Amino acid sequence: MTGALSDVRILDLTQYEAGTSATQALAWLGADVVKIEPPSGEPGRRLGFPGPGDSTYFLTLNNSKRSLTLDLKQDRARELFLEMLPKFDVVAENFTLGTMEKFGLGYDVLKAAHPPIIYCTVKGFGTFGPWAQAKSFDMVAQATGGAMALTGNEGSLPLKPGPTLGDTGTGVQAAIGILAALWQRQRDGVGQQVEVSMQDAVTNYTRVPMTRREQSGDPVPRYGSSDGAPTGLFPCKPGGPNDYVYVVVANGRMMQGLLTAIGRDDLITPRGGDPVATDDLRAAIEQWTSQRTKTEAMDELARCGVPSGPVLDSGDLYESEQLQARDMLVDMDHPERGPMRLFGCPIRLSESPARVERAPLLSEHTESVLKEELGLTSDEVASLKEQGIV
């Protein structure tokens, strides 16, 4: 079975994470993504990894793509790019504002060369607005999008949430935009520019907690990981830093299930009776959870219809039976790094399973892409390499 997007072709100029995660999602779903890098390689290949070969960061964000090197600072490289353009559907980039224009490859140029092109640009603060020229990374986007102000306990400093909402969170929005533009082009025959700002994307993810301002006023306070017993985080054995289970009780039926699970039916209050004091309820729950592991607590609560989940750390996740059963853990052999386990695609299509293959080596597909797309010979590609063009 071919991939859902097997007829979609993307020239991927993204680097690091925000744009790269967008094109990766489309590659998982079958798109042919040709990652274009300078001959020295995308900087993410070396990020945070001291050993030989590409970083796990790069391998995590670029699997299922092909690698073509082009030094877009050189005229001949830009000519090659423009010659390939009509054979592709999408160009994606997340360079600093103005970089593509300096290359002579801004949207106006690409649209003139190939009007149906979908051009996706990811920027920290977009292409317009008073902050448009400012650079951004994930943590800057989380600060300016409201995520940090919401995270932490009352009285604590603002905290950056661990997940990269500013980067991969933006990539999700960009992928949606690309798919919408492709659908419209199929219907109306028009190409267009897709723009996603990292600040805009994070603001979108904070929109629900921000509604609490109607009750609290501004600023919306940080309230940590607990709404007050019975909903909240409870310690489990053996007492490690992540040995906790999170419990949610949203109605009376769940409350009854919780009290039954912990063997405290005596705390069930009759209709109209005084509720159990929060401190007493928390103490009863903690006494029960502290005698069980976090997964045992979840299993017993689930049987009683109580939503809960263990706090899974990196070691737990990479060995999770649930994630393995859902093909979210992918084992692959890398020619430089050897056997590796990476997270897979969270999107499941019944008729076209996601494609998760290893990330490409630098310039691994340069010769094959230039031969297939432009009809160049091996000697011509070798000459381009000697000149540092590819």
Assess contact for 160 and 148: CB atoms under 8 A. yes
Task: Tell me which of 54, 89, 138, 167 is the catalytic residue.
Answer: 167
List the structure tokens of 15: 């680097």
Distances (CA, A) of 218 to 14, 155, 201, 221: 37, 15, 21, 8
Q: Is 281 helix (H, G, I), strand (E, B) or coil?
A: helix
CA–CA gap between residue 147 and residue 170 (Å, rounded): 13
Nearest residue to 183 (alpha-carbon basis) of 3, 1, 4, 373: 4
Q: Is 89 a catalytic residue?
A: no
CA dihedral 200, 205, 207, 212 (to 10 degrees): -140
Find the helix packing angle between 18-28 and 168-188, rounded to 10°: 60
Q: Alpha carbon 242 to chain centroid distance?
A: 23
Residue 109's nearest CA partner among 91, 125, 122 is: 91
232: DSSP letter = E
* Joined tokens for residue 342: 């990476």
Tell me the two tokens of residue 329: 């853990």
Catalytic residue annotation? 167
